[in-house]
Structure 1
Amino acid sequence: MKKSDQTTDSQSPRPPSAPERNYHGRIFSTPEKDKYLDSVQLDRLEKSFREWTKAAPRPDVLRSRRRILLIFLIIRYAGAKLHEAANLDPGRDFEFDKGFVILGRARGKSSHRRKVQLPEKLCHEIRSLISDPSLNKGKQGMFQTDPGFVRRKFYERAEACGIPKQLGAPEVLRKSRAVELMQSNLPLPAVQMLLGHSTPNLTSSFVSFSEEEIQQVTRLIVEKEFSRKTSARNSFFGSIRTIEQGDIQTRVEIVTLGGHVVTTVITNDSVQRLGLKPGKTIAAEVKAPWVMLSKNGHGLECSADNRFNGTVDKITRGAINTEYVVRIADGTEVCAIVTSDSSRRLGLAEGDETWVFFSSYSVVLMSE
């Protein structure tokens, strides 16, 4: 991502009616919709690349297209820069057993290399592709091809599936991956680490998590994203702070990367089955119908263990139900679905401050 894409809140456009929001050190602002691809467009573009590769008329063309496909997949899922993807060394820069690709270069005595998590299924596919001896031009040459040629093919594939040519650029795909992960509630430190950004203005609640812990969080979300096996809309990622076991059930407190505390009560058997212990990285999910909303600070007066102050980002009204998307202090989006009658009584509008709250019994834990 270019430096021009790294903006602070004070530089980011904001609707005049919207109140100031605290993003806790956010240095990435979501660009205008016409400047990045959403997940549906990214999937369509990937399908276009795959079909184009399979349709190669000759073996030499197939080899060339497979190289382009490999570069696309690394940029699409690892947020790599074009030159980073094109200079990968299959023998050095992949840790397939752990699911990592290593991007960047060592410069003198300092290293600017970073490990980026890839989905397990994608690792198997890439491993299979690069094991093809016909692709091997020497260990360090397997990915190498003319950057101008790569760009032309990216533009062509975008236009082939109805996407504006300029949105097929490698830089746009890298930016789109960052937006996609942030919209999936991957915490900002993990997105910054993935992109290779420095993080000088992170709050202490972020800094208290190690690089290994942030990588664990990233692995949880990319695997969930790749498999799409869950319908839960709200996900919180962090580490277990306390475990208080009772006769039948156990109370578990999780500290998120944004510094919030999420509390859940689960059975003692679940604690054993998930292998829970203090310090373990975990995902906590809450379905949207279990999330309640309140105005004017009334969320503080209820018995729910989990209460967060935020701002209404989006409202989708229906005849029976209304969906609210609320952004809390660290930028995490929380979705709530209420009846339309309740929505009218609430009288919330986009940009309004509100409280979201949910019971500890509504939280489901997802372990690796």
Structure 2
Amino acid sequence: MSDAKQSSPSAGGGRFRAARIFCVPDDVKFLDTLELTRLSEAFQAWTERAGRPDVAVSRNRVRLIYLMLRHTGARLGEVLGLDDRRDINLDTLAVTYSHGEGEGREVQIPAELGEALALVFSNPAYASLRGILFKLDQGHVRRKFYERADECGFSKELVNPSTIRRSRAVELLRDDVPLPVVQRILGHSTADLTAAFLHLPEDQRRKVERQVLARETRRTSARNAFFGRVAQVRKGDIQTQVVVESLGGHAVSSVITNESLKNLGVTEGSFVTAEIKAPWVVLETCDELPKATTTNRFLGTVELTRIGELTSEVIVVLSDGTRLCALITTQSARELELSEGRQVWAMFNAFAVVLHVE
């Protein structure tokens, strides 16, 4: 089970707590962060034990392959296919995994891995290997992985490249990285593939699937709706604050009456849909987080504006594809100089959020 820390989302839209939505079932094999660190140390010690310079180079290549898997969550074939001269940028600490045609995907690497690569790139002993540094036989790499597993007391399946990839996904989600971000890092075509690494109780899984299907079939018309899990319920004497963490990575705060809380059966962990009527959505074009009393504030991009005589409709797309529709006065729309592609803050008060339970 996930051991995520409990904390309150921030007022500016909050921070998505992916760890609270998913848990890892007991039969799913993965290494936690401490175990991954032990494995990294085993590769380092193995490299340092090399008696000859050429053996040290050979071992270090395998170590770097492991570190790339461990920190980027890539497939083994993707790492072995890297051109270290073309695909690694140490200035931005990024590696690009290509898939034939297209731009591929860029994944950030930690500074310590960047330093390890910089040492290799500047070492004359690796000069003849530039461009093919990672091009080793898969069978050879796996055998060396299994040898390090024995040293750490791990089973072979725990250091299988696929398990290391899964371990990185679990690590990121336990660190509250939004599911769509983990999906992009791992190169999954859909978030469903990423979520398959993890576990959701069957009854909740069916609810999520129904919501995902509904969102896909209504992609162009579904607006002002956030589906997610209730992360926090703070009950007062008359009203209750409910914080919903959407699957797309947003935290939405709602204030409802205690009677509504009881009638809806809303509890922490339950799934709900939070909806906001368009007239309650306020727009702001400042660069920084607006200083406003509105609890919910989200940065998005203007997708469409419909200018009317008195009022105008503005569609704002958030980072996960969620669309917010705002109805504002035409005078405000002109003063804000809204246009397609412009970044804008969409804001609404917690009292404007209505909760729906299936």
The two structures have a TM-score, normalised by structure 1, of: 0.49
- Higher CA-based Rg: 2
